Amino acid sequence: MRIAIKVTVGLVGALAVIVGALFFHVNASYPNVDSELRLFGYVVDRFTQAETPEQLIALGRQAEPENYDLDKGIVVEETYIKGRDGNNIRVVILRSDKSTPDAVGLLYLHGGGYVMGSPDSALDIRFMSDLIHTSNTVIVAPAYRLSHEAPYPAALNDSYATLAWMKDNAAELGINDSQLFIAGGSAGGGLTAATTLYARDQGEINIAFQMPLYPMLDDRNSAPSNTQNTHLIWNSTKNRMAWKLYLGDLYQTDKVPIYAAPSRATDLSGLPPTFTFVGDQDLFYDETNEFVQQLKKDGVPVEFYEYEGGYHVFEMIVPNANVSQSVNERLLAAFKHASENYFATQN
């Protein structure tokens, strides 16, 4: 018995030393990251490393749609619609079981660097459920083609096809076609911005509100925050590989369209009112700020927040942190305001 106790005490002591060393390493390595976000962000980052395009693709395949617990009162259905390239697009539709006609119609675009992700992830389902609890909303989330399946413009085509389907089937979906919104984070944020730009220029569909959250916008990777490779979760190595996969032969050329990389757009006038935010430890910090300043310059109403100590997708990874709760309170308040005030009549 005494030997067992000594062994147990020894193991506990060794574990305490290891944990203490880990805390010291993380705190010393990431002093500018919010203390509530630091450790979990480090652990997630260690398990999502990728140094080659093949590893990035494999990482995406490991993150297949997972089982999730639906909030009470949320209804999910799935259907397939025809894409612009003759492909079939799987779309996930979420609504409240108390949804009433003339709901907001939100096109939701998942993140994942264009190379991974799906609308079925537990994190995305939780986010969409929060929006539905906030306002009478029907959300349509397409499983757009990923870059290793088909590079640009496949994702844009699938996004726009879904948007057009929402407009054409507004009555059946129970949505108000004068309240078509678009939202997404990271690559989904970049695709949000790209889709609103494309819709503006096509003149076929009017968007009432957009939320491109910490968006992936700039393929050139030249801004100061893009050149550092020490960011947690999404660093410059992953970002360059993701852009190369997405753009294919267009990568590192001067032929990249604004609908692939919205940071290349010099005129953002006519875009809908916008809400966005970014953490100051996010790789996309600079390009998000530049995009916001261009929106303001071009007369687009913008509500924008920066969060000290926040890395990429921090509010989803550590939702109970104080800074994450601040994000969610502001985001949901902005969404509620938009649902009550922003309309764009269709032609």
Token couple for 108: 């939701």
Distance CA 326, CA 75 (A): 27
Examine residue 182 and state whether it is found in any structural domain, yes or no.
Answer: yes
Of 68, 121, 328, 346, residue with least CA distance to 211: 328
Distance CA 126, CA 217 (A): 25
- β-pairing verdict for 88-96 and 103-109: unpaired
Give yes or no for a contact between 282 and 308, defined as CB atoms under 8 angstroms apart. Answer: no
Tally the domains of the chain: 2
Strand order across the beta sheet in which 74-82 lies: 74-82, 88-96, 137-142, 103-109, 175-185, 209-213, 274-279, 302-307
Cβ burial of 32 (10 Å; 0-12, 13-18, 19+) is exposed
> Does one domain contain both 13 and 65?
no
> Does one domain contain both 53 and 18?
no
Torsion of CA 15, 20, 25, 31, to 10 degrees: 140
Distance CA 120, CA 110 (A): 9
> Does one domain contain both 122 and 11?
no
> Does one domain contain both 7 and 143?
no
Q: What is the largest CA-CA distance in the chain?
A: 82
> Does one domain contain both 41 and 161?
yes
Examine residue 346 and state whether it is found in any structural domain, yes or no.
Answer: no
Cβ burial of 46 (10 Å; 0-12, 13-18, 19+) is exposed
Range of the domain at 320: 35-341
Examine residue 347 and state whether it is found in any structural domain, yes or no.
Answer: no
> Does one domain contain both 94 and 158?
yes
> Does one domain contain both 2 and 43?
no
> Does one domain contain both 25 and 89?
no
Examine residue 273 and state whether it is found in any structural domain, yes or no.
Answer: yes
> Does one domain contain both 113 and 233?
yes
Token couple for 181: 């919104």
SS3 at position 210: strand
Distance CA 38, CA 314 (A): 10
> Does one domain contain both 21 and 62?
no
> Does one domain contain both 16 and 161?
no
CATH code of residue 142: 3.40.50.1820
**CB-based contacts of 258, cutoff 8 Å, min separation 6:** 194, 197, 264, 265
> Does one domain contain both 3 and 101?
no
**CB-based contacts of 125, cutoff 8 Å, min separation 6:** 68, 70, 76, 94
Examine residue 283 and state whether it is found in any structural domain, yes or no.
Answer: yes
pLDDT by residue for the chain (347 residues), tens only, comes to: 444 444 444 444 444 455 556 666 788 889 999 999 999 999 999 999 999 999 999 998 876 555 677 888 999 999 999 999 999 999 999 999 999 999 999 999 999 999 999 998 989 999 999 999 999 999 999 999 999 999 999 999 999 999 999 999 999 999 999 999 999 999 999 999 999 999 999 999 999 999 999 999 999 988 888 877 789 999 999 999 999 999 999 999 999 999 999 999 999 999 999 999 999 999 999 999 999 999 999 999 999 999 999 999 999 999 999 999 999 999 999 999 999 999 999 98
